Every structure is written in structure tokens, then in C-alpha cells.
Amino acid sequence: MHTRLGSSKKMVENLAFSAILSNKRQYNPDFYNWNRVKVRYCDGSSFTGDVEAVNPATNLHFRGARIWLAVMQELLAKGMRNAENAVLSGCSAGGLASLMHCDSFRALLPMGTRVKCLSDAGFFLNTRDVSGVQYIKQYFKDVVTLHGSAKNLPRSCTSRLTPAMCFFPQYVAREIRTPLFILNAAYDSWQIKNILAPRAADPYGKWQSCQLDIKNCHPSQLKVMQDFRLEFLSAVIGLGRSSSRGMFIDSCYTHCQTETQTSWFWQDSPILNRTTIAKAVGDWVYDRTLFQKIDCPYPCNPTCHHRVFTPLDAPPI
């Protein structure tokens, strides 16, 4: 509630649209002339929460699902119901949201609309941290419980698994019927910092230098990260091949690649199979080419833009 991620009062009023949201053809060749809407994020549950009670001490509301529905109703009324093409996309928690709400978004639009979903850096992996603890599993369980998310998670998953497990894309995405594109770094910097080596599992800060810059990683840490990549790829491949599912899994140390111009479409953007992210996604959306590629292991891809953080960057969860 004290940052832009928890309150609209903390958000900037004007937000620059770049990369996949750009209205300049040279920066966004396939989507520059689309109607583009940025749904600001402040609910903490990828728009799945719905709790009637309000915490009297903090006045916190956990009603992300109602925010989602209100936004969709307004957009439909403003003309989205007449769309010929519609893409639901987002990065990080927004990438998770675009995946979780993919089929329900499709159901809002007429049968004749071509609807697709793009999840950027939203494929959070259920795995153990470096101390052997299932940290992220407990964290997601706490989120689902706090927000009352269970009833708003895909029933195709909750009919088989616990609601907490159904917050992980690896257990949900197989059942998504709407065409889905998974864009993710195999060494997702957020996941390395918050799932693989969270502060609770690294009390002495042995991973801090590595997390700030992958070039600082000790060989033993790189081995752990390579194992994480293999587990991540296993989860993605485990979804099964689909003629409608796109995939761009690069070997960059980064997080979110559709909303940054240099990673989306630039002279030196990351390339996989001689293809930029923008072209891979555009070809998939317009049914020109089905892109399903996985990069070779770090440090094989010289086109990667590896993120370098400072100790002052937002602390991990």
C-alpha cells in the first residue's frame, strides 16, 4: 500500500508507452497501430483475489478479481467487443495474470475475434531454493490464502491440485485452450533472486554479488543456475507440444522483455534463431510462423542483454 505496486495513489499519472505498447512503426512494427491499453497493477494477486472483509487496521482490500472484471467491462463498453484481434499480455505478475485469465479473457469476446495471450516473465517455477526449502511454494500458498484466490483460479487445475499449486503456470498452462505464447529468460533474474536464492535461504549474502551481475557468479553458483535452467525447461516442455503455443526461451539474465525497447525490437535486441522477440511474437499473433525455440545455455548467446543491478534496487521478497 506504500508503493505503486500496492496503491494507485503512488502511481505516476503519465506513463510512457514503449516496446510492445509503442505507436511508432519503427519500434513496434506489428502492433504500432493497435488500440493499446495498460492495466495498472496494484492488487498483489495477479487479479485473482476476492475477500469481502476489509482489514480495519490497514484498510487493505483484497479484491483483485473485481478490479479485473471492472476493467474488462469498461474496455468492452469502449469498443473492445468489436475487436478483430485481441492480445492479452503482461510481464512478471502481469505475465502470470495474462496466463491465469487467458481463457476467461477469450470468453469475453465474440467467437469471430482472434484472441491470443502472451506471458512475459510470468512462468514462475515451483522448485526448492538453495537451502532445500520450498520457499516459493509456501509464499504462493500465503498469497492465495490472504487474497481468497482459490475460487478465481482455473478450475481445470483446482479440480486436480491445491489452489496454491494452481498459482504456478506449470500446472495451469497445459489446460489453457486459447493460443498462448510463453516468453521467458531461462535465467530469470527475479526468480534467481526470489525463488532460487531468496534472502531467507542466503542469510550471509553469499549469492548477493552473483544476483547483482551474473558475471560475478562463482562456478559453483553457475552450476546451481544451470540446474535451475534445466528444471525450468523441463516444466515448460512438460506442457506438451501444441500447434497454437508459441515459445521464446532465451538464455539471458533478465526479467521482462516486451516492455523494454532494447529487448523488444532494436538494432542489438536479443536474437534466437535469427529472430527478435518482436518478430517472433508478431509472426505468431498473425499466424505467419509458429515460433517455438529454446536457447542454448549461458553464456552462449552474445546478443543477450544481461541485467546488472545495484544493491539499492528493490529488495527481494
Per-residue pLDDT, 114: 97
Contact, 280 vs 294, CB < 8 A?
A: no
Given the residues 43, 188, 202, 250, the one annotated as active site = 188
For residues 70-77, give the mean pLDDT.
98
Selecting among 45, 46, 89, 92, the annotated active-site residue is: 92
pLDDT value of residue 13: 82
> Which residues are registered as beta bridge partners of 85?
114
Per residue in 281-296, pLDDT tens? 999 999 999 999 999 9
Residues in the chain: 317
What DSSP line would sit under 102-123, residue for residue? HHHHHHHS-TTSEEEEEEES--
Q: What is the pLDDT of residue 307?
A: 96
pLDDT at 58: 86
101 in Cβ contact with 47 (< 8 Å): yes
Q: Where are the alpha helices (DSSP H) in the chain?
A: 64-77, 93-100, 102-108, 135-147, 155-158, 169-172, 189-191, 208-212, 219-237, 261-264, 277-285
- Kindly tell me if the per-residue pLDDT of 310 is higher than 80: yes
92 catalytically annotated: yes
The whole-chain average pLDDT of the chain stands at: 95
| Confidence at 1, pLDDT banded by 50, 70, 90 | low
What is residue 42's predicted lDDT score, i.e. its pLDDT? 83
C-alpha to C-alpha distance for 82 and 112, rounded to whole angstroms = 10
Q: Which of 120, 255, 263, 295 is catalytic?
A: 255
Here the cell at position 63 is 479484491
Distance CA 64, CA 139 (A): 18
Tens of pLDDT, residues 7-66: 777 778 888 899 999 999 999 999 999 999 999 988 899 999 999 999 888 888 899 999
pLDDT at 157 over 90: yes
Residue 106 reports pLDDT greater than 80: yes
Mean pLDDT throughout 224-235? 98
- 108 touches 72 (CB < 8 A): yes
User: Would you state the pLDDT for residue 55?
Assistant: 82
* Residue 189 appears among annotated catalytic residues: no
- pLDDT category, 90, cuts 50, 70, 90? very high
